[in-house]
Structure 1
């Protein structure tokens, strides 16, 4: 018997290409969701450490990547440390990703005295490329935008304030509700104030047990950063990952429709720069 030599048809070639592309797309999606994701620096809040127009790789598995459309997180391989540059869901609008430096961990006490950051009464050294661009606000000059409201704190003189840790029992009254009210709501409870009493889920109480860990994050551009001084504690559930490396950088203010100047704005010295 003579076997006929048959070649692949065009339809078979198309099917194989489609399957290869589908597998590659699934693999890329898994990498992006659970391992490494790209992130672009949109603002100047981390200058000069990171510049607007920097493109980063973010390590997502290090703190335990979140499974999409669930509250489940994969096991972490490391914990957040003071000084880590972290990407997280902005607690006031979780459709946005923010990037800041973690300066305090759950259970730490944060204080700023004349711009000097102290954590647990020890000075937290200013990062090498951090900067101050505005004038210093003196002690006793309150800023209504600062968290918690009515605290009398400002961006340069802040605290002391303890960062909540899971299991902490905090006192609830009219003077502390600005500190813990939103946190309690975000942990899934109803909070109300009736006269001098605080009600949680409709029950009067003067105590609340914190259910998860929180962090305190600040930008390296200290006078131009919307950070924990303004919106409060960062919930552990909002962590996305740790910044790894700048893989591309150019001037974001130059239009792509001006290709000559856009290409000329590439910051070659920042490409492949580790982030720390």
Structure 2
């Protein structure tokens, strides 16, 4: 093999190799981020004290099956969502936003809250070890117009019973069930409307509908400061992103690294680094 003695050739080849290595590394990192694990930051206190505002965490996107970008196609996962999993998902009312909550009920479950006590399938569910309440109990019968479904007379402390829809369920459609299922039917790709006391799907009257997807019910561990399923409804399976794994960094989000660098660095919560999320 002849060797070139032209000046600049070895350096050019070396630079090209470094550039190719960087491209390969970027591709690998992108694939890893899309399909395996991604970093997220906790912006609010809805999961306190399990997770704190200012926590940075890794989320396992592979466990439930990662989605192919720009599609609703989900690849096979290694596990199903379980009650108690801390999950990250696209907020169904604004899918540009990621939310993190605890899954408290899965498809087919019936849940109820009575004086703050959550029960699933008539079995009491303990508050997570770091969960909390911040305000007084709202008595049963005092409805909250912000609560899902509208006109239900539920509130955050006394809720249900309500069944979480499961793929294949046949649900009844009428004026009474309209607030409960209208968004679900619409989100599954149908034009749905209530005309008088009749429900119309894609222009035809309908008294029932077969559910096409599995759904979940999510709540924050900070039960009095969480915009969760009690307020916006069922979580569609297609919006799942992954399961929260571990906190790798944490500091006070209210301090600026630019205006108060010393205070910001002093606020690092070293004890939370490496903390597994349960």
TM-score normalised according to structure 1 size: 0.98
Q: CA deviation at 1:194?
A: 1.5
Going from structure 1 to structure 2, the CA distance change for 1:216 and 1:11 (only over 3 Å counts) comes to same
Distance verdict in 2 for CA 1:15–1:163, change over 3 Å: same
Match for residue 214 of structure 2? 213
Name the CA distance, whole Å, in 1 between partners of 2:3 and 2:49: 69
Structure 1 unaligned blocks of 5 or more: none
Aligned to 2:240: 239
Establish whether residue 104 from structure 1 lines up as the match of residue 97 from structure 2.
no
Check 1:164–1:144 CA distance in 2 against 1; reply closer, same or farther (3 A cut). same
> Cα offset for 1:10?
1.9
Q: Secondary structure at the match of 1:183?
A: helix
Query: Where do residues 52-63 of structure 1 align in structure 2 (5 Å cutoff)?
Result: 52-63=53-64
2:28 aligned residue: 27
**Cα distance in structure 2, aligned partners of 1:3 and 1:273:** 58
Q: Matches of 1:94 and 1:231 in 2, distance apart?
A: 13
The number of residues matched between the two structures is 275
Deviation at 1:5, TM superposition (A): 7.6
Give 1:170's aligned residue.
171
Q: CA RMSD in A?
A: 1.2
Displacement of 1:272 in angstroms is: 0.2
1:179 aligns with 2:166: no
Shift of 1:107: 0.3
Report the alpha carbon displacement of residue 9 of structure 1 after superposing the two structures with TM: 2.2
Q: Is residue 270 of structure 1 aligned with residue 272 of structure 2?
A: yes
* Stretches of structure 2 lacking an aligned partner (at least 5 in a row): none
Structure 1's consecutive aligned runs of 4 or more residues displaced over 6 angstroms after TM superposition are none
TM-score normalised according to structure 2 size: 0.97
Residues of 1 paired with 2:168 and 2:229: CA distance? 21
